Amino acid sequence: MASSQKTYALVGCGGRGLYMYITAIVKNFQKTARLVGLCDVNQGRMDYCNRSLQTNIPTFTDFDQMMKQARPDVVIVTTKDSMHHEFILRAFEHGCDAISEKPMTIDDGKCRAILAAEKKTGRKVTVTFNYRFAPYVTKIRELIAQGAIGRVLSVDFDYKLNRSHGADYFRRWHRRKENSGGLLVHKSTHHFDLVNWWIGQEPVEVFALGSRQFYGPTRKERGERCLTCDHKKTCEFYFDINAPVDAGTMIFEFGELYAKVEQYDGYFRDRCVFSDDINIEDTMNLTVRYSGGTQMSYSLNAHCTYEGWKIAFNGTEGRLEAAEGHGGPFVPSDTQNIVVHRWNKPSETIPVTAELYDHGGGDHRLLNMLFDGPRPDPLGHMATSHAGAMSILTGIAANHSIAEGRPIEISRLLRG
Ligand SMILES: NC(=O)c1ccc[n+]([C@@H]2O[C@H](COP(=O)([O-])OP(=O)(O)OC[C@H]3O[C@@H](n4cnc5c(N)ncnc54)[C@H](O)[C@@H]3O)[C@@H](O)[C@H]2O)c1
């Protein structure tokens, strides 16, 4: 082993584990990183990871056994969201730092446990907010930090998931709140993190409304899963689990990764989006108050006809508008614009070169930082557990607010 190599063990060998981290370490970061163990409840999925990359990384279904045998420097956590805290804490116990996919965890109790364990053990968790690294959102951070619109007083943020990507959350483990925290944690952690980062403030109080109006038992023509459904020929939500998915930079072989290894864990990745079993919301609206006095209105809808987001920041010196399309009519071809309107001055349009794959160009920049660092980080792209906590606590507060019908203070969740 080259002495400059750090060793990594990864737990959670699904889509994100394989197509983001395992593939990158094996193919692009051999000089600085080496995988010494893979862990998952599904042995078949780990075997496919090794087979598809022609590697022979040791595999384990028991995390502690992996830690004892493989003795990694760092643990990468890419399991379903509700298990992140478990493996972060256990990595600390084994004397390792952790890298966790977003969201850091799904509720306030688990969040407090991670923050307390960091203090107690002196270990740390890095939360991988890839979206921060996309050039378009980085430019927004730069402009606001430079004072392009003065002090930010309010934010309007509208996020739309379409009936392909949005619907997919209602097929998989994400559809149960106890697995994902719902979309306000699982998905919005990205958006709330960006807002915290963009405006340099933290959330203080949250009020939310949320309902499930589109998915769930809203139609008669439904089944257990797409693979065996009687309505597959007519349902516009039919998902062929065996069809490879072209993700732009690589092909995702969901048939191999999920369908062909179901016998190991009974997990169906193509459950019906109209089933009774779904307990997350698909229609959500929030108002948020921040530490510097900024107010935000935010909406997330998971059943839109096209996908993307639109944001406006109103500041003491002007207004900044940005929008990104991920599918449907607004996918950018070569540039994405940010528009700054200043009081009594001509508006300015700032073009940013569009990157269509790789989460807006965020993934490979994040990977470089993680596995080929340390690199200069003047805008603070790398996120600690504190940023991880502040981003999920907005969504967690929103979940409490929806359940309790009143505004929730973030400090209450941090105190417990
Ligand atoms: N940042 C991003 O853009 C991005 C994109 C996709 C996913 N993610 C995150 O990556 C994580 C994984 O998502 P995914 O889409 O790969 O899901 P997935 O279902 O494809 O993979 C999850 C894997 O975790 C394994 N697992 C579940 N419970 C486990 C346990 N107790 N012990 C060991 N393994 C366990 C499953 O068997 C599966 O292989 C999630 O936290 C998700 O939020 C992030």
* pLDDT digit string, tens, across residues 8-44: 999 999 999 999 999 999 999 999 999 999 999 999 9
- Report the chain's C-alpha Rg in angstroms: 21
pLDDT of 115: 98
Structure tokens at 400: 């409490």
d(CA 389, CA 384): 9
Structure tokens at 278: 């779904």
For residue 281, pLDDT beyond 90: yes
Instruction: Specify the CATH number for 131-215+278-359+384-415; select among 3.40.50.300, 3.30.360.10, 3.40.50.150, 3.40.50.720.
Output: 3.30.360.10
The string of pLDDT tens digits covering residues 133-169 is: 999 999 999 999 999 999 999 999 999 999 999 999 9
Between 247-251, 289-293, 326-330, the lowest mean confidence (pLDDT) is in 326-330
Between 105-119, 236-250, 298-312, the lowest mean confidence (pLDDT) is in 236-250
Q: Is the CB of 102 under 6 A from ligand 1?
A: yes
Q: Does a cis peptide bond (omega within 30 degrees of 0) precede residue 103?
A: yes
Find, among 1, 11, 26, the residue nearest to 367 by Cα.
26
For residue 336, give the 3-state DSSP assignment.
strand
For residue 3, pLDDT beyond 70: no
CB neighbours (10 Å) of residue 275? 17
Q: Is the CB of 11 under 6 A from ligand 1?
A: yes
Q: How confident is the model at residue 278 (pLDDT cuts 50, 70, 90)?
A: very high
d(CA 261, CA 46): 10
Cα of 176 vs centre of ligand 1, distance in Å, is 14
Report pTM: 0.97
Q: Is the CB of 308 under 6 A from ligand 1?
A: no
Q: Is the CB of 395 under 6 A from ligand 1?
A: no
Q: What distance, in Å, lies between the first and last C-alpha atoms of the chain?
A: 45
As a whole number of angstroms, the longest Cα–Cα distance in the chain is 66
Ligand 1, atom 36, lies closest to the CA of 12
